[in-house]
Structure 1
Amino acid sequence: MRFDHFIKRFDEPLLALSNAPHRGGLTKANGFFFMMVHKDYAGDYKADCRAFELEHGLKNFVGFMTAADIGKVLAVSRRGSVTAYVTAGITNPAIAGEEPPPWKPGTINIALVIEEGLTVGAMANAIMTATEAKTYTLLSLGYNATGTTSDGIGIFAFEGEIEWAGTATELGINIGKAVRKALEESLRTWEKTRSVK
Structure 2
Amino acid sequence: MAPNHFILPFDELMLSLSNAPHRGGLTRANGFFFMKVPKNYSGDYKADCLAFERENGLKNFVGFMTAADIGKVLSVSRSGNVTAYITAGITNPAIAGEEPPPWEPGTINVALVIEEGLTVGAMANAIMTATEAKTYTLLSLGYSATGTTSDGIGVFAFEGETEWAGTATKLGISIGRAVRGALEESVRKWERTRC
Note whether the superposition's TM-score is higher than 0.5.
yes
For 2:22, the equivalent position in structure 1 comes to: 22
For 1:9, the equivalent position in structure 2 comes to: 9
For 1:81, the equivalent position in structure 2 comes to: 81
Partners in 1 of 2:4 and 2:101 — Cα distance? Answer: 27
Alpha-carbon RMSD across the aligned residues, in angstroms, is: 0.9
How far off is 1:155 after superposition? 0.2
Q: Are the counterparts in 2 of residues 14 and 159 from structure 1 also a CA contact under 8 Å?
A: yes
Partners in 1 of 2:93 and 2:61 — Cα distance? Answer: 28
Give the 3-state SS of the residue equivalent to 1:183 in structure 2: helix
For 1:92, the equivalent position in structure 2 comes to: 92
TM-score by length of 1: 0.98
How far off is 1:3 after superposition? 3.7
Partners in 2 of 1:145 and 1:108 — Cα distance? Answer: 12
Give the 3-state SS of the residue equivalent to 1:145 in structure 2: coil
For 1:40, the equivalent position in structure 2 comes to: 40
For 1:115, the equivalent position in structure 2 comes to: 115
Partners in 1 of 2:137 and 2:181 — Cα distance? Answer: 9
Letter in 2 for 1:101: P
Letter in 1 for 2:21: P
For 1:59, the equivalent position in structure 2 comes to: 59
CA deviations over 1:41-81 (Å, ceiling 9, x no partner): 10000000000000000000000000000000000000000
Partners in 2 of 1:22 and 1:110 — Cα distance? Answer: 14
For structure 1, the residue ranges without an aligned partner over 5 or more in a row are: none
- Alignment coverage as a number of residue pairs: 194
For 2:168, the equivalent position in structure 1 comes to: 168
TM-score by length of 2: 0.99
Q: Are the counterparts in 2 of residues 3 and 70 from structure 1 also a CA contact under 8 Å?
A: no
Give the 3-state SS of the residue equivalent to 2:39 in structure 1: coil
Runs of 4+ in structure 1 off by over 6 angstroms are: none
For 1:148, the equivalent position in structure 2 comes to: 148
Percent sequence identity over matched residues?
83
For 2:178, the equivalent position in structure 1 comes to: 178
For 2:137, the equivalent position in structure 1 comes to: 137
For structure 2, the residue ranges without an aligned partner over 5 or more in a row are: none
